[in-house]
Structure 1
Amino acid sequence: MNFSSDNVTPICPEILNAIAVESDHAALPYGADDKSRQLDAAFSELFGTDVCVVPVATGTAANLIGLSGLVSPFGGVVCHHRAHINMTESTGVAFYGGGAKLLGIDGPSAKIEADTLDAFLRAHSPNGMHSVDPECVAITQTTELGTVYNVDEVQAIGKTCQKHGMRLFMDGARFANAVATLDCHPADITWKAGVDVLSFGATKNGALAVDAIVLFDRELRRHTEKSRKRGGHLFSKHRYLAAQLLAYLKDDLWLRNARHANDAAIALQHALESIGAKAAFAPQGNELFIHMKDELAQSLRDVGIVFRPWASIGPDAYRFVCAWNSPIDLIRDIPKSINS
């Protein structure tokens, strides 16, 4: 069993079938096809408000292109210092933002707190042309430590952003896992809470290669599409991205896949703790961070279980990531495998 990442998984059957169906006929390129024209309506129905959708093939592109419309070349993006855009997306924000700077702040469990954000923004002293002024706030849902912002927390951050005239971006590479955990309407932690742009993840949750930039501020469409083209992320055979997203939304596949992954993470926590490991955080999504002795880690590797060390939270820490197809029955049998 490979728990190194949810990127190691295959394409789920419903999405693979949708891609195959699109291979039976020709269609207009660059988003002029029938499937691409259905995206705005499908996502508007999901979120309960009119939105614009700009598909791209990677989560990095969704984050960077999505953010580019919310910050000027001489502005700042406030984020948690552990945020994916800060730690593992190179200088992409500066590249797509024309020089925009990331402004990292701290918070427990990789989450920004509204009070801390408010204090940071109040303490900022503009210095005219010499300073980088915050223009946007970015939060990650779920976070880099697998924790989830609840509805109240997102709404509090949204109110703080509005108070200070900031735009709000959400990195939702694992947005589905957060909604599954919270059992809320997706609107409650997005536009109703003040989110302007969401990167809506699909690749980690069963798709081949597609994430969606969801624009709750529809005036951003032209800028976002121009930024996508300029950055080389406009697909000519755009229908293959659209077909995946439509299949992903149909019958709540996105949410069913996420619920399974979350359930697998809980089962994995119970299995590992029964043989001496200890969870660093209670799993709220599909990621599990575990403290365990070297001997136990080696025993797991010896029976073919793949996972990654996670030194940023301790020398004995490891990350396990479950997915839409993680075998829950086999996960429950891990203690038997170790003890046999």
Structure 2
Amino acid sequence: MYEKINEQFASDNYSQICPEVLKKIIELNNDNALAYGNDYYTKYAADKLRELFETDCEIFFVFTGTAANSLSLAALCSSYHSIICTDVAHIETDECGAPEFFSNGSKLLLAEEKNGKLTPEDIIHLATKRTDIHYPKPKVISITQSTELGTVYTIEELKQIQKVAKEYNLYIQMDGARFANAVASLKCKPADITWKVGVDVLCFSGTKNGMAMGEVIVFFNKELAQDFDYRCKQAGQLASKMKFISAQWLGLLENDLWRKNATHANNMAKYFEEQISDIKNIKIKFPVESNSVFIEAPAQILEQLKQRDWIFYGFIGLGGGRFVFAWNTSKKRVDELVKDLKELSNS
């Protein structure tokens, strides 16, 4: 028997493939195609992404977000360089040292997060903390959009980071695991929060937005993409049947499905926030600006919630509860979670 679980909110990775994406995979399965990304569909998907970002850029398709982050950072760094990020950045807490491994040892310089964000002041502090040859030279600012805590960098905040990056000759890499949710939240164009505010490379996730797997690495600074195809091959990220990754992107890009999916996920997060905001003993920890809601609650309530078969993650491993909403989250299931939280809080 296959194990089946009810709809859960531990992660948007729990969600199914959205029908339009699955349909596109099946459609393209009727054709043979050249291998290793030399097929028409992969080239067409790359062109559609260039249209989306309104600029010429280099596009690479890979399997996972960890590979996207690690390989893109390796392209920006040498082994004696360092990468400035927050202490809750995915590249610091959840990628098993892959960014350091693939860059042959580039060091992560950590700033204490401010609602999940890097501030210009923290970047300046870390970029100027030491300038002697005995210390790894700062080279990259890595920001997550939307952040690991569900907050979103505004366009103005990104412009301030761009200003610091220019002053200190730093590249900007954007971990866009939930980039679609950030765009939907800001109601802007993808270009507005990427190359127009100085982002050199974006890792844009499809997995969390209705795809089975697959991320795209977008080099707006095309010079940085030199020989990047070799990095992908060496790291086992060059798919032989690449069209089944790129086909999914075609499904997401048609009719702005990527934005519709992200908007629904964001709306469900806001709905959940509204429904639990007046429950005693429950505190919302961070501003809800995308598709994640973090709560503080007594340990007994959280444990009883698990006993009722709810699956959720702690606050970056430090307690509390994180609830993430997906492209296909049902309002009915959110209401069931709210009902249990109310009952447990009043018991």
Task: Give a deviation string over 1:210-255, Cα, whole Å, max 9, x none.
Answer: 0100110122333221110011110000111111112111111111
AA aligned opposite 1:308:
Y
Aligned match of 1:73 = 79
Residue aligned with 1:137, SS? strand
For 2:175 and 2:238, the matched residues in 1 are separated by 20
For 2:316 and 2:71, the matched residues in 1 are separated by 30
**Which residue of 318, 331, 334 corresponds with 1:331?**
334
For 1:63 and 1:282, the matched residues in 2 are separated by 25
Aligned match of 2:103 = 97
Aligned match of 2:221 = 217
**Which residue of 173, 176, 183 corresponds with 1:179?**
183
Aligned match of 2:312 = 307
CA contact (8 A) 1:275 1:335 kept: no
Map of 1:132-147 to 2, 5 A cutoff?
Answer: 132-147=136-151
Aligned match of 2:11 = 5
Aligned match of 2:3 = none
CA contact (8 A) 1:311 1:318 kept: no
Aligned match of 2:299 = 294
Name the CA shift for 1:310/1:163 in 2 (closer, same or farther; >3 Å). Answer: same
Aligned match of 1:120 = 126
**Which residue of 28, 38, 41 corresponds with 2:47?**
41
Task: Give a deviation string over 1:6-40, Cα, whole Å, max 9, x none.
Answer: 11111010111111112112100001101111133
Q: CA deviation at 1:339?
A: 4.5
Map of 1:196-215 to 2, 5 A cutoff?
Answer: 196-215=200-219
**2:33 counterpart of 1:30:** no
Q: Percent identity?
A: 37
CA contact (8 A) 2:75 2:224 kept: yes
Q: CA deviation at 1:281?
A: 1.1
> What is the TM-score with the length of structure 1 in the denominator?
0.94
For 2:267 and 2:137, the matched residues in 1 are separated by 42
For 1:230 and 1:163, the matched residues in 2 are separated by 34
Residue aligned with 1:160, SS? helix
Name the CA shift for 1:16/1:82 in 2 (closer, same or farther; >3 Å). Answer: same
Q: CA deviation at 1:123?
A: 3.0
Where structure 1 has 5 or more consecutive residues not aligned to the other structure, the ranges are none
Residue aligned with 2:140, SS? strand
AA aligned opposite 2:312:
F
**Which residue of 271, 274, 277 corresponds with 1:273?**
277
Name the CA shift for 1:20/1:162 in 2 (closer, same or farther; >3 Å). Answer: same
Where structure 2 has 5 or more consecutive residues not aligned to the other structure, the ranges are 1-6
Total equivalences in the alignment: 336
Q: CA deviation at 1:90?
A: 1.2
Q: CA deviation at 1:335?
A: 4.2
Q: CA deviation at 1:188?
A: 1.3
**2:249 counterpart of 1:283:** no
Residue aligned with 1:38, SS? helix
For 1:302 and 1:82, the matched residues in 2 are separated by 28
For 1:104 and 1:195, the matched residues in 2 are separated by 20
AA aligned opposite 1:125:
T
Q: CA deviation at 1:100?
A: 1.4
Name the CA shift for 1:336/1:76 in 2 (closer, same or farther; >3 Å). Answer: closer
Aligned match of 1:163 = 167
Aligned match of 2:59 = 53
CA contact (8 A) 2:272 2:338 kept: no
For 1:27 and 1:123, the matched residues in 2 are separated by 52
Aligned match of 2:4 = none
Map of 1:224-263 to 2, 5 A cutoff?
Answer: 224-263=228-267
Q: CA deviation at 1:187?
A: 1.0
Residue aligned with 1:30, SS? coil
For 2:42 and 2:226, the matched residues in 1 are separated by 16
AA aligned opposite 1:284:
E
**2:88 counterpart of 1:85:** no
CA contact (8 A) 2:109 2:126 kept: no
RMSD: 1.8
AA aligned opposite 1:186:
P
> What is the TM-score with the length of structure 2 in the denominator?
0.92
CA contact (8 A) 1:172 1:200 kept: yes
Q: CA deviation at 1:333?
A: 5.0
